[in-house]
Amino acid sequence: MDNIEIKKEDLETLVDIEPIGDSPGVITELGHIKHMVEKPLIPIVEELYKKNIRTISSSANKNNVQNGYDFLPNIIVEYGSLSHENKKIAEYYGEVDTTKTMGKGDYVIIKILADKETTVSEFQLRALRIAGLFKKQPMSWAPRYSFKQLLRVYNCQEKDTKPEDFVKEGYHYDNRSGMFYLSKEHCDKFNEHAENN
């Protein structure tokens, strides 16, 4: 009989995944996703981020497969920031919610079928098939601030404050536009579309 090695991660199911509990918030760097999102959803959230699609929340853990089909593993994306083409894809695969219960904007919940026997790798393939249908779009949701806006947010006086002070607070300053971003990645993604048009 052949000696086939079975790795532990090949047998891992969604029942083995503990919930993270916290919403990912605003993803500012690709490398941060693995610390903010539950393992089964890391590949889809990364893929959507690369396509400039904002994930608001996600859930794929033991709670999603033990409570029946009302609480399936899901990913929630910001509907209002999607391109027209991506809105159509999201509408087909998800359920648009306009109640604004997750903030100011509309969002779409995309549920991904799974049960207690679904392995993490099987689930990731299903999720990636959906992510692969979305098209790369301009980065429209990245928060950006002018110097004067940040002065108001921090209640500072212009005469006492320099742009470098906000860089020390963690913002990325774009010399070309004079705007501040939450990260260099956000700035680069925003400017990529501007440069191509």
> By mean pLDDT, which of 1-10, 97-106, 126-135 is the weakest?
1-10
**What value does the mean pLDDT take over residues 153-177?**
93
pLDDT digits (tens, 9 = 90+) for 23-47: 657 899 999 999 999 999 999 999 9
Q: Mean pLDDT across the chain, nearest whole number?
A: 88
Contacts 24+ apart (CB under 8 A), 189-196: 189/52, 189/139, 189/142, 190/139, 190/142, 190/144, 192/139, 193/138, 193/139
Angle (CA) 44 123 43, round 5°: 20
**What value does the mean pLDDT take over residues 161-176?**
94
**Residues 6+ positions from 134 with CB-CB distance below 8 Å:** 47, 48, 51, 53, 86, 89, 90
pLDDT digits (tens, 9 = 90+) for 47-87: 999 999 999 999 999 988 876 655 789 999 999 999 999 99
Distance CA 146, CA 151 (A): 9
Distance CA 103, CA 120 (A): 30
Taking each helix axis as running N to C, give the angle between helix 42-50 and helix 120-133, from 0 to 180 degrees, rounded to the nearest 10.
20
**What value does the mean pLDDT take over residues 153-158?**
92
Measure Cα distances from 122 to 12, 16, 61, 65, 128 in Å. 10, 14, 14, 14, 10
Is residue 145 classed as helix, strand or coil in its secondary structure? Answer: strand
